[in-house]
Amino acid sequence: MPRGSGGVAKMDDWTYCLKTLPKVSRTFALNISVLRGELHRSILTAYLFCRTVDTVEDAAKLDPKIKTRLLIEFSQLIEDPDYRKKNLVTWVEECSQVDGSPNDLDLLHQVFRVFNVFDSLPKNHQDQIIPSVSKMAKGMAFFQNHFQFGEITPLENIQVLEEYCYFVAGVVGEMLCNLFFQKLPHLPEAARNIMRQNAVSFGLGLQMTNISKDIIADRDRGWSYIPRSIISEKGLTIEEFHSGASMDKNLQILEGLLGKTTGHLNDALKFTLAIPKTEIALRLFCIWPLWMAVKTVAVLHNNPELLNSNAQVKISRSTVKRILFVTPFIAWSNNLLKNSFSNIINDNAFQNPPAFDLEGLKARLEKIPLDTLNPNT
C-alpha cells in the first residue's frame, strides 16, 4: 500500500486522521473530540470514510455514471479486504477525476491511511462500520439516477427525500447507535429501544437542516433536494421556486420542510436523553450537533435571506461558543436539556410537527435494489 512520496518524513496514519478531521469538518471535529479510547478512534475513522464517499457524491463536475461506479466500488473496498488489496490503489487513481476542496481531495487521495487505521480497530466496531458505510455508498450510487447532469432535477416527493436522507445520514445514526451499544453493554433494554427507534430520525434531522440552509448553494451546483411535490402544492414550478418568483410561497414551502425537520430533531433529543446521565461525553457528542441544528432551524424560520441571497444563512460563531460553554453544565439533567431545547424554538408553528413513520421508511427501503447495482452502468 502506498505510504507517500520518498524522501519526505511521513506522519503515521492515525496522526494523519487526527489532523485531517478538523480540515474537512470543524463541526464534527468538535463533538468527536469529546470521545476517548476505542470509540473515539472508531467514530473518527468511520466519519472519514463517510466524508470520502460524500466527496465523490458532491463532485459537481463529475459525470453521474462515473460517480456511480466509484461509489459502488468503494462499497466493495470496505466490505471485502481481498478486493481492497487488489483494487484500492486503482480506485484512488481513478478519483483523480473528482473535483472538490483541497482538503477533501487530499483525504480522498490518501484514504488508504484511513483503511490502515480501520484495520486496527476492534472487530466488533468494524462490524458496525462496514454495513453502514457500504450502504451509504450504494445508496448515493442509486440516487445518481435521480439527477440529470447539467440541469436542476428535484426529488419527487417527501418520501423520496426521506429515502435519500436515510442513505446519507440515517445510516450514520444507526451506526453510531450500534457503536454506543458496544460501549454500553449493560444499557437497559428500554433505553436501547428508544435509541434504536430514534437513531435514523436523528440523522434525517441533521441532514434536512443542511438541505434547508443550503438551498441556494445546491441550486448553483445543479441540485435540488426540495421535493417537486411540495413545490407544486403551492402552485409553483421548479424554475419559479428557484428564481424566487413568489417569496411568500417559497417561505411557506420552506416552513413546511422546517416543520418536518423539527420533528426529526425532537426525535434526536429522545435518543440523546436515553443515554445514561453518567455518560456525559456521549451525551455531549449528540448534544452539540443537535443544538447547532435546532439553532439553525430557528435562524431559518421565516427568513427570506435564505432564498434571495447567495450568502449562506448559518448560526454565528458566538452562538456555537455559547453552546459549547453552556451544555456541559446541563448535560447530566434531562429536565434542563428539555428546557434548553424547547427554548430555542418556541414558535407555535413548530409545536406539533408531523410524526416520522420509521416502519414505512424501512418498508420502502427494502424495495430499493442496492445489491443489484452495476458499477458499469
- CATH number at 194 reads 1.10.600.10
How many domains, in total, are found in the chain?
Answer: 2
**What's the first-to-final CA gap in the chain, in angstroms?**
29
| Per-residue pLDDT reduced to its tens digit, 125-177 | 999 999 999 999 999 999 987 766 556 778 889 999 999 999 999 999 999 99
Do 158 and 286 belong together in one domain? yes
Whether 122 and 230 map to the same domain: the answer is no
What's the confidence (pLDDT) of residue 4? 38
Rounded CA separation 256/153 (Å): 20
The answer to whether residue 346 scores a pLDDT higher than 80 is no
The answer to whether residue 279 is domain-embedded is: yes
Q: Which residue has the cell 418536518?
A: 260
Angle between helices 358-365 and 158-165 (to 10 degrees): 80
Asked if the structure places residue 328 within a domain, the reply is: yes
One domain for residues 190 and 311? yes
Closest CA to 122 of 12, 221, 40: 40
Helix, strand, coil shares of the chain, percent, nearest 5, are: 70, 0, 25
CB atoms within 10 A of CB 193: 11
Residue 310 has a pLDDT of 62
Structure confidence at residue 7 (pLDDT)? 33
pLDDT of residue 147: 67
Return the pLDDT at 329.
Answer: 97
- Same-domain status, 193 and 208: yes
Are 89 and 184 members of one domain? Answer: no
Whether 222 and 77 map to the same domain: the answer is: no
From 102, 120, 149, give the residue that closes a domain.
149
- Phi and psi at residue 153, to the nearest 5°: -125, 110
Residue 317 makes CB contacts below 8 A (sequence gap 6+) with: none
Q: Single out the residue in 97, 132, 149 at which a domain terminates.
A: 149
8 found inside a domain: no
104 and 167: one domain? no
Q: Binning pLDDT at 50, 70 and 90, where does residue 372 land?
A: confident
Q: What is the pLDDT of residue 79?
A: 97
Dihedral pair phi/psi, residue 223, rounded to 5°: -120, 150
CA distances from residue 106 to 4, 11, 88, 113 in whole angstroms, order as listed? 12, 14, 15, 11
> How confident is the model at residue 135, as a pLDDT?
97
Instruction: Answer whether residue 8 shows pLDDT above 50.
Output: no
Q: Identify whether residues 34 and 145 lie together within a single domain.
A: yes
**Looking at the structure, do residues 124 and 188 belong to the same domain, yes or no?**
no
- The single-letter code of the amino acid at 364 is R
Q: Residue 261 is part of which domain span? A: 151-368
**CA 356 to CA 348: how far, in whole Å?**
19
What mean pLDDT comes out for the span 363-373?
89
If asked whether residues 262 and 344 sit together in one domain, one would say yes
Q: Is the pLDDT of residue 84 over 50?
A: yes
- What is the C-alpha separation between 305 and 309, in angstroms, rounded? 6
Residue 375 inside a domain? The answer is no
User: By mean pLDDT, which of 97-106, 196-205, 246-255, 309-318 is the weakest?
Assistant: 309-318
Rounded Cα–Cα distance for residues 292 and 299 (Å):
10
- Residue 176 sits at the vertex; the CA angle it makes with 365 and 189, to the nearest 5 degrees, is 90
Answer yes or no: do 113 and 197 share one domain: no
Residue 184 · residue 277 · CB < 8 Å = no
CB 293 within 8 A of CB 209: yes
Q: What is the mean pLDDT of the chain?
A: 90
Q: Which of these, 192, 196, 354, 339, lies nearest to 264 by C-alpha position? A: 354
Euclidean distance between CA atoms 229 and 232, whole angstroms: 5
Angle (CA) 202 303 150, round 5°: 75
Q: Cα torsion for 64, 70, 72, 74, to the nearest 10°? A: -150
Dist CA 167 CA 234 (whole Å): 28
* Cβ(253)–Cβ(191) below 8 Å: no
Q: What is the torsional sign of CA 264, 266, 268, 271? A: negative
Query: Strand runs (DSSP E) across the chain, as ranges?
Result: 153-154, 223-224
State the Cα–Cα distance between residues 161 and 210, nearest whole angstrom.
13
Q: Is residue 14 part of a domain?
A: no
Question: Three-state SS for 153?
Answer: strand
Written as nine digits, the cell of 42 is 472508531
- Per the DSSP assignment, residues forming a β-bridge with 153 are 223
Residue 11 covered by a domain: no
Return the amino acid letter for 179. Answer: L
Give per-residue pLDDT as tens, 231-286.
999 998 888 887 777 888 888 888 889 999 999 999 999 999 999 999 999 999 99
Q: Please check whether residues 187 and 311 belong to one and the same domain.
A: yes
List C-alpha distances in Å: 218 to 59, 210, 211: 12, 10, 8
CA distance 187 to 125: 17
Boundary-marking domain end, from 98, 131, 149: 149
